């Protein structure tokens, strides 16, 4: 079993699914990867607006209210809903207590996850891949104590209009807010590489070399150009950006 609801040092893996971009198989695959690469008991939680098709081992709860303006037609979704992982509802209403490791639905787990719960730090996130001088992190993988940071969401709700004008997306706001209070740290650089930046051979070798998993990787991050099924098929969503099929995805990304 992947869950144990008892004990003071309870561990959680949390994801969030809304809308129709990602089907239930993304949640199911993510649970299966966590179960394979995380020793011992944990609870796997999905905050979602539609639990249909999600496997029984996953505990599904409604996404806590965010209280923001709806995205305008044609405006990209900036993932503000992820801030609801810091809602008081997770502890006060859903009864979740302990340490939470948040994973985006489209990551691929390729190594042991236990160290993500052992790494020292209050809130840990991925360091910006290309602009290392920035405090902004990539929120595909972050860890925090459930119920310990409700002010992240409270502050956003109180200043939503101004913050959405200032910050491009939730991870920019989250990083800036927590860094300013000395609560933000970063994962070791090798743990969460980007498929786009670190897993694709440099031009022109990308025409004859297949994408790869960098040394030391534990979670491969997919952002911007393709998701795991695209990578497996050798597709990118930008013209003149060729990749060969990343056949290693099939080894990890499955139930």
| Domain annotation covers residue 253 | no
Give pTM, 2 decimals. 0.93
Kindly state the average pLDDT of the residues 237-249: 88
pLDDT at residue number 12: 98
| Domain annotation covers residue 17 | yes
Tell me which of 52-61, 128-137, 169-178, 245-254 is least confident: 128-137
pLDDT at residue number 114: 98
Angle among Cα 28, 34, 40 to the nearest 5 degrees reads: 130
Which is more confidently placed, 131 or 228?
228
Average pLDDT of every residue of the chain: 92
Kindly state the average pLDDT of the residues 84-95: 97
| Domain annotation covers residue 165 | yes
| Domain annotation covers residue 49 | yes
Spatial distance between the Cα atoms of 91 and 86, rounded to a whole number of angstroms: 9
pLDDT at residue number 171: 95
pLDDT at residue number 76: 53
pLDDT at residue number 75: 46
Query: Over the Cα atoms of the chain, what is R_g?
Result: 18
pLDDT at residue number 130: 78
pLDDT at residue number 66: 86
Phi, psi at 158, each rounded to 5°: -75, -25
Phi, psi at 86, each rounded to 5°: -95, 5
Domain span including residue 45: 11-186
User: 60 has which bridge partners?
Assistant: 46
| Cβ pair 137, 171 in contact under 8 A | yes
Measured over the CA atoms of residue 174, residue 179, residue 184 and residue 187, the dihedral's sign is positive
CATH number for the domain harbouring residue 156? 3.90.550.10
| Domain annotation covers residue 48 | yes
| Domain annotation covers residue 101 | yes
Spatial distance between the Cα atoms of 102 and 144, rounded to a whole number of angstroms: 8
Spatial distance between the Cα atoms of 45 and 85, rounded to a whole number of angstroms: 11
> How many folded domains does the chain comprise?
1
pLDDT at residue number 223: 87
pLDDT in tens, 135-192: 999 999 999 999 999 999 999 999 998 998 999 999 999 999 999 999 999 999 999 9
| Domain annotation covers residue 118 | yes
| Domain annotation covers residue 135 | yes
pLDDT at residue number 8: 46
Of 253, 248, 240, 251, which is closest to residue 206 (Cα–Cα)? 240
pLDDT at residue number 9: 58
């Amino acid at each position: 079993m992947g869950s144990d609801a008892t004990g003071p040092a309870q561990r959680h893996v949390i994801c969030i699914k809304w809308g129709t971009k990602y089907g239930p198989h993304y949640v199911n695959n993510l649970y299966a990867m966590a179960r394979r690469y995380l020793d011992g008991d944990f609870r796997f939680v999905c905050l979602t607006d539609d639990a249909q098709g999600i496997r029984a081992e996953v505990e599904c709860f409604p996404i806590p209210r965010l209280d923001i303006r709806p995205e305008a037609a044609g405006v990209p979704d900036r993932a503000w809903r992820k801030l609801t992982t810091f809602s008081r509802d997770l502890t006060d209403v859903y009864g979740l207590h302990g340490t939470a490791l948040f994973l985006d639905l489209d990551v691929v787990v390729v190594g042991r996850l236990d160290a993500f719960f052992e790494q020292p730090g209050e809130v840990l996130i991925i360091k910006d891949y290309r602009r290392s001088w920035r405090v902004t992190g990539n929120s595909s993988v972050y860890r925090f104590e459930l119920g310990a940071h409700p002010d992240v969401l409270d502050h956003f709700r109180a200043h939503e209009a101004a913050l959405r004008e200032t910050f491009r997306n939730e991870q920019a706001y989250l990083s800036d807010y927590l860094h300013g209070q000395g609560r933000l740290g970063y994962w070791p650089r090798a743990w969460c590489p980007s498929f786009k930046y670190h897993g694709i051979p440099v031009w022109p070798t990308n025409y004859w070399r297949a994408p790869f998993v960098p040394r030391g990787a534990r979670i491969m991050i997919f952002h911007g150009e393709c998701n795991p099924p695209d990578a497996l098929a050798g597709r990118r969503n930008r013209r003149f950006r060729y990749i060969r099929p990343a056949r290693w995805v099939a080894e990890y990304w499955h139930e």
